[in-house]
Amino acid sequence: MKCKKCEYINVNHANYCYKCGNEFTKKEQASSQEKSIWHKLVKLKDWYDKLTLSKITGSKTFQALSIIITILIGGYFIYKNGYQMKLLANDNYTYAYNTKDKEYYVYPKEKETPLNIYAPNEVKEIYIKYYENDTLVNEQSINDLNNILVEVNSSNINSYYKLSYEKEENDINTIKVYVLGSVTNE
């Protein structure tokens, strides 16, 4: 969700702008939700409901089954496509994942660390943005997904990388990575 006031890109479903505190309107929240996969799944369920006879039968079991089937179809679709961007384990670092905020905390073993990134097969380019205190400092795109290097700039929790596989960031194509910890040698 882009803040109208300061243009900061917030996560979907945000109530307030993370940067300037500007409150999002219900309308803004709704339009950002329309882009989310869950919204699409609900749409898919609506479509499925029309297709089935659940409205005619009105059977609760039937409705419950149609929901379950929709979730299974949606789940299979996500599983098969796997378009949720992820950080994977690697010998070069240890990491922790904050599920709630979708943030990775990476503790590298060297000053410059290659990240093991999962992105969908068809992704050919990764956009890397480096922030300090929520201010964009550096931006680049990388074509070689196996060669994504990030640097330990400081142990500052206010510095982070945002990696996305499309210019437009959203919940599934973006991860936020804090590269933390002091590097002992080199």
Per CB under 5 A, residues contacting Zn ion are: 3, 5-6, 8, 17, 19-20, 22
* Residue whose CB is less far from Zn ion, 3 or 126: 3
- Give the DSSP H or E segment for 172: none
Tokens linked to 63: 């409705």
CB of residue 9 to Zn ion, shortest distance in Å: 10
Instruction: Kindly tell me the sign of the dihedral angle through the C-alpha atoms of 116, 120, 123, 127.
Output: negative
* Residue whose CB is less far from Zn ion, 46 or 168: 168
Contact 178, 157 (CB under 8 A): yes
CB of residue 137 to Zn ion, shortest distance in Å: 18
* Residue whose CB is less far from Zn ion, 25 or 147: 25
CB of residue 102 to Zn ion, shortest distance in Å: 19
DSSP 13-78: T-SB-TTT-PBPPHHHHHHHHTTSHHHHHHHHHHHHHHHSSHHHH--HHHHHHHHHHHHHHHHHHH
Name the CA dihedral angle for 7, 179, 164, 97, rounded to a multiple of 10 degrees.
Answer: -100
CB of residue 154 to Zn ion, shortest distance in Å: 25
* Residue whose CB is less far from Zn ion, 19 or 39: 19
